[in-house]
Structure 1
Amino acid sequence: MNWYLDVLKNYAGFSGRARRKEYWMFALVNFVIAIVLSIIGAAIGTDILYYVYLLAVLIPSLAVGVRRLHDTGRSGWWLLIALTLIGGIVLIVFLASEGKQEPNQYGANPKLAPQAG
């Protein structure tokens, strides 16, 4: 849960790098919350909670995706490749790839930085 909250605290932080664990833990918690809100919405007859949540986490989701791509040495503009079917598969491969061990133009390796507890 700390990974999820750390992404939300860095709401619109598009600079720097994000570890795989940070990205995928955020994605997992985000997915679970969206499912729960969808179920609640179905029970009360409206999906407004689900859509408000999706709108609220849109910018943090983009920001952590950009930082994750930075960790692999790619520009955040690679997120746009997901607009195609094959591009979405390629993007998942990029997001699941090991980050660069050495510092790159986006900053130092986040694995070597002390983790917030």
Structure 2
Amino acid sequence: MNFTDAVKAYFLKWNDFRSRSSRSEYWWATLFVTLASFPVGFIIGFVIGILFLTAGFSETTMEIVVGIVMLPIQIFIIIASTCLVIRRLHDVDKSGWWYLIIFTIIGIIPLLIWYCSKGTDGENRFGKDPLEQLQ
């Protein structure tokens, strides 16, 4: 899966907790979210800041409005990224519940290993092989 297809899949499957995601889909989408988050947040904050400060509003009011505008975007990213991680775990034949080990001290280690591991060949209990669907 290439970068463009992975980004499309990220947005189209933002609430899909059931299927599978290949390594390329996971890493391309993660790269996109990581690189796009800063400029989008900066532009929104900059535009609102200019509008509010030139209109004479306080910095506190401006910060509250930026927070309110950014909240739905952040909620969407959290949900879509959680779905992406769960689909990636499904590809290596792990339950999405394994994602909860991120809250332990060393939980990131097995997660990183699974994120980098080749998915199950062919169909598994979570669905068809995402690499077969691309061909």
Please indicate the TM-score interval, normalised by the length of the shorter structure.
0.7 to 0.9
Residue 13 of structure 2 corresponds to 10
Deviations 1:26-54 (A, max 9, x none): 11000011121344466547453554422
- Report whether the alignment pairs 1:87 with 2:97: no
Q: CA RMSD in A?
A: 2.0
In terms of Rg, which structure is larger?
2
Shift of 1:85: 2.8
Which 5+ residue runs of structure 2 have no aligned equivalent?
50-61
1:36 corresponds, among 25, 35, 39, to 39
- Report whether the alignment pairs 1:25 with 2:45: no
Contact kept, 8 Å, 1:34 with 1:50, in 2: the verdict is no
Q: Which has the higher helix share?
A: 2
Per the normalisation by structure 2, the TM-score is 0.74
Contact kept, 8 Å, 1:23 with 1:65, in 2: the verdict is yes
Write the distance in 1 (CA, Å) between the matches of 2:75 and 2:125.
30
Greater mean alpha carbon deviation, residues 69-78 or residues 40-49: 40-49
Residue 76 of structure 1 corresponds to 96
Percent identity over the alignment?
28
Which 5+ residue runs of structure 1 have no aligned equivalent?
none
Write the distance in 2 (CA, Å) between the matches of 1:4 and 1:91.
21
What count of residue pairs does the alignment treat as equivalent? 115
Write the distance in 1 (CA, Å) between the matches of 2:98 and 2:105.
14
Write the distance in 2 (CA, Å) between the matches of 1:16 and 1:22.
13
Residue 61 of structure 1 corresponds to 81
Deviation >6 Å, runs of 4+ = none
Write the distance in 2 (CA, Å) between the matches of 1:114 and 1:90.
27
Per the normalisation by structure 1, the TM-score is 0.84
Deviations 1:57-98 (A, max 9, x none): 211111111111000010000110111231012211111111
